[in-house]
Amino acid sequence: MADSAQVVREQDPVRSVLRADGSLAGDPRRALGLTPEGFVDLYRKMVSIRRADQEALNLQRQGELGLWGQFLGQEAAHVGATMALEPTDWIFPSYREFGMAMCRGIDPATMLTVFRGLTHGAWDPRKFHFAPLAIPVATQVPHAVGFAMGSRLEGSGEVVLVTFGDGATSAGDWHEAMNFAGVFKAPVIFLCQNNYWAISVPLPRQTAGRIADRAAGYGFPGIRIDGNDVLAVFAATRAAAERARRGDGPYLIEAQTYRMGAHTSSDDPTRYRTAAELEAWSSKDPIARYERWLRAEGLLDQAGVDGIGKEAESTAEKMRTRLREAPAPDPGKAMFDRVYSRPSPGFQQEREEFESSLESPG
């Protein structure tokens, strides 16, 4: 008869790759199967998306963007989860997963046209297997479960990752999606980036108990991990994806991290959180932490750090230039072209009236 530890490992492959504190167990270089270049690439991506995030905030402050929601401090969750998936797996993001989109190869300047008010959809989701950013809280979660069910019915083997914050777990959409996924064993990974603040409401004021423990009520496993450890996020996501791909159903990952910036560029976090709290989490910075490990393993030196920093700077500069050069769309085409394949006479009349009301380009 198998011992209890063996049974747990068989039932929950994610727990077998993590310690009790949610960090990666064993030797990462052997356990993850990444090449030396692969380990460094995780660092490169974290540095690049952080620099792009800061540049986007700069652009908003300069009046180039209408709004921006930083993900400063959450880079390990963005990079670790995205890079653990197959390129054909789908991601359903919230509004804060700009870094995940960059990891999928979506042009950051193109993405920023959404926040500049130039487009409602800046990329083809089918090309990148990356759904549009979802602004309303938790609405992307049932979308992801439905898409995962469709993938299973088609036998495509695609796994869906849906990501959200701790505040979204208080929304009805989230619970309905969790229940549906559990009943029908949808191949979906629920990734909660628990950054401890739902705008100005702290976690203890909106959530009783651990978010990861809620999964059991819907009939599938959940785990709390160190969301500032990029290797732990990578390992947990990959194991959950392999489990889902085998037909064993959904998994909930609660990645504990921290929102070091404001909720959005319209928010002032100094009104509701303390400097001491921010300082404590700043010492757990996911990039600095991973850089120390890479240096200790002989995978990265100062020249490498400097070179990656310059690459990130170049990416940010190009993003800024391309965004500012992006042409304004034709309002008529943007509003009317994608509504009907065969427009009715009344619809055509509305379009003509709208276009006649526009000012001339001059």
Which residues form the catalytic set? 259, 263, 272
CB atoms within 10 A of CB 266: 11
- Tokens at residue 222, please? 């959940």
Work out whether strand 90-92 and strand 188-194 pair parallel, antiparallel, or are unpaired. Answer: unpaired
- The DSSP output letter for 134 is B
Share of the chain residues as helix, strand and coil, in percent rounded to the nearest 5: 55, 10, 35
Pairing of strands 197-198, 201-202: antiparallel
CA dist 305 → 19, 177, 191, 227, 357 (Å): 29, 42, 29, 22, 54
Query: DSSP labels for 110-132?
Result: HHHHHHTTS-S--S-HHHHTBPP
Separation CA 249–CA 190 (nearest Å): 11
Q: Is 178 helix (H, G, I), strand (E, B) or coil?
A: helix
E strand or H helix that includes residue 161: strand 160-165
CA distance 324 to 147: 35
Would you say how long the chain is, in residues? 362
Q: How far is CA 267 from CA 259, 279, 287, 312, in A?
A: 12, 19, 24, 26
Q: What b/e readout covers 149-164, taking b as 16+ CB neighbours within 10 angstroms? A: bebbeeeeebbbbbbb
